[in-house]
Amino acid sequence: MDIVFIDVASWAYDPDTPFQRPLGGSQSAACYLTPELAKLGHRVTLATRDAEPKVVRGVRCQPIPTGQDDALRNADCVVHMGGVMHARLAEFRAQCGPGVRHILWTGHAHDQPFVAPLAQPEIRSVFDGFAMVSEWQADCFHQAFGLDPARIGILRNAVGPAFTDLFGDAGILPAKAGPPTLCYTSTPFRGLDRLLEAFARVRAAVPDARLEVYSSMGVYNALVDPFQPLYEMARASPGVTYHGSVAQPALARALRGATMLAYPNTFPETSCIAVMEAMAAGCTVVTSDLGALPETGAGFVDLMPALADPHAHAGAFADRVIQLLAARPADPAGTEARLQAQVAYAVAENNWARRAEQWGSWLAMLA
């Protein structure tokens, strides 16, 4: 099958990029999925803005087409990533041959402006299929836009290669010896403010606890980051180290030695790669019962209500973290067994080779 992925985001990247620098979740997903599809024998093109024409990990990389383009003309499927850029849909369709299937692959929630054009029937009719990253997201899109369930595929996210074999045959807890280490790895607007407030309370109860913050807007290639005051607060907080966003190999090493992903989420996630990565890295995960997080956690994560009052949320979250940290040393064998089961599930279920097979089967079914 000849598959073209088009991302009209305002920066160039290729399948090597997440190994070298921080990248957003949807872009990282494309970087991992496309080489796995190529390994299965598909002819895969990744078109991004200002990209240098080259082949990376078996994937043809090129700029977004602006005129007659061989990749679009020969495509069997065109996967439109992210939002609905309706101003360019007609342009892309005009460059394609007859019978091409057009797919929308989005990680956005149904209430985001990037997908609002789907309210128009003529826009919905452009797409032959909708690749959703969770059942929760698919249900929301069906209710909001009346999408035909037969045209929806649940193609979940997964973890990158840096997270697939962090422990080998060794135990998990020995890699996490030392002071309790909490990590925050999502974008700053999804709960970092509440975590910083919560951590002050955690540290009062567990004085040697540490918080490592891997977060910024750099994953979106943002030139201006409005959350600088939040980062300064993190830097000034006792026990907190602010790292900013880092490339995947560095993040995997950090999470391998961490105790917990502390994520008092306030933004309904449609998937959450951060939780998947922490699960694969053997971290206890504490997060919110919100959006697709229960689905992503698959019974392995500790879920709490996302309270509307920020101070109440931070306080309740801190109390739960303190409880979990206190209980951990009492049953090391049980903790090791639970984490081993969690890691085994995360690596087996949330890997991109498996996702590529699912993508191939679904696209063939749409033919």
Q: What is the pLDDT of residues 122-141, one digit of tens each?
A: 999 999 999 999 999 999 99
Least confident of 18-22, 27-31, 216-220: 216-220
As a whole number, mean pLDDT of residues 219-232 equals: 86
pLDDT per residue as tens digits for the range 246-261: 999 999 999 999 999 9
Ordered domains of the chain (ranges, CATH): 2-158+351-365 (3.40.50.2000), 161-349 (3.40.50.2000)
pLDDT value at residue 189: 96
Q: What is the 3-state secondary structure (H, E, C) of the chain?
A: CEEEEECCCCCCCCCCHHHCCCCCHHHHHHHHHHHHHHHCCCEEEEEECCCCCEEECCEEEEECCCCCCHHHHCCCEEEEECCCCHHHHHHHHHHCCCCCEEEEECCCCCCCHHHHHHHCHHHHCCCCEEEECCHHHHHHHHHHHCCCHHHEEECCCCECHHHCCCCCCCCCHHHHCCCCEEEECCCHHHCHHHHHHHHHHHHHHCCCCEEEECCCCHHHCCCCCCCHHHHHHHHHCCCEEECCCCCHHHHHHHHHCCCEEECCCCCCCCCCHHHHHHHHCCCEEEEECCCCHHHHHCCCCEEECCCCCHHHHHHHHHHHHHHHHHHHHHCHHHHHHHHHHHHHHHHHHCEHHHHHHHHHHHHHHCC
Residue whose C-alpha is closest to residue 251's, from 224, 278, 229, 227:
278
Q: What is the mean pLDDT of the chain?
A: 95
**pLDDT confidence of 223, banded at 50, 70, 90?**
low
User: What's the CA angle centered on 225, arms 156 and 22, to 5 degrees?
Assistant: 45
pLDDT band at 88 (very low <50, low <70, confident <90, very high): confident
pLDDT for the residue 89:
86
At 86, the pLDDT band (50, 70, 90 cuts) reads low
Contact criterion met (CB below 8 Å) for 15 and 35? yes
Residue 50: is its pLDDT beyond 70? Answer: yes
Contact 145, 119 (CB under 8 A): yes
Determine the straight-line distance between the first and last CA of the chain, rounded to whole angstroms: 11
Query: What pLDDT does 311 receive?
Result: 98
Whether the pLDDT of residue 121 is over 80: the answer is: yes
Structural contact between residues 315 and 198, judged by C-beta atoms closer than 8 angstroms:
yes
Q: How confident is the model at residue 224 (pLDDT cuts 50, 70, 90)?
A: confident
Q: Give the pLDDT of residue 90.
A: 84
pLDDT at 362: 98
- pLDDT of 179 reads 97
Cα–Cα distance between 80 and 109 in angstroms, integer?
16
Give the model's confidence band at 11: pLDDT under 50 very low, under 70 low, under 90 confident, else very high: confident
Could you read off the pLDDT of 176-202 as tens digits, one per residue?
999 999 999 999 999 999 999 999 999
**Cα gap 265→323, rounded to integer Å:** 19
pLDDT at 177: 96
β-strand partners of 3? 44, 77
